[in-house]
A and B are shown apart, each in its own frame.
Chain A
Amino acid sequence: MKESRLMLVQYATAVMAVVLVAIHLIMQGVIYPYTTAISFDNILSIYRNGFYAVFLEVLLVVVLVHGFNGVRIILHEFRQTAPWSMWVDVGTILAIVVSVAYGTRTVILAVFGVVSA
Chain B
Amino acid sequence: MGTVGEERAKNKRGLQGWLNPYHYNAERWAYMFQRVTGVAILLYVLGHLGDTSFFVGGPTGTGPSTSSWYFIGNIFENAFGHLILILVVLVLFFHGVNGIRLVFTELGLIMKKPSSIEYPYKPRSLSPAQRSLIFIGIAVAIAAAIWTFLVLFEGMG
Contacts and interface: CB of A to CB of B under 8 A. Distances in A.
A and B part of one assembly? yes
Nearest to A78: B15
Given A14-B99, A105-B56, A106-B55, A116 B63 contact: yes
Contacts of A82: none
A90 interface: no
A106 B72 CA distance: 15
Nearest to B152: A34
Contact of A68 (B42, B77, B92): B42
Nearest to A67: B42
Contacts of B35: 74
A99 B56 contact: no
B63 A34 contact: no
Interface string B7-35: 00000000000000000000000000001
Contacts of A115: 55-58, 63
A30 B156 CA distance: 9
Given A106-B56, A109-B64, A116-B62, 20 more contacts: A11-B103, A15-B103, A18-B100, A29-B147, A29-B148, A29-B157, A40-B55, A40-B58, A40-B59, A40-B70, A64-B45, A71-B42, A99-B46, A99-B49, A102-B53, A103-B49, A106-B49, A109-B56, A115-B58, A116-B63
Interface of A: 11, 14-15, 17-18, 21-22, 25, 29-30, 33-35, 38, 40, 43, 60, 63-64, 67-68, 70-71, 74, 99, 102-103, 105-106, 109-110, 114-117
Interface of B: 35, 38-39, 41-42, 45-46, 49, 52-53, 55-59, 62-64, 69-70, 73, 77, 89, 92, 96, 99-100, 102-103, 106-107, 147-148, 151-152, 155, 157
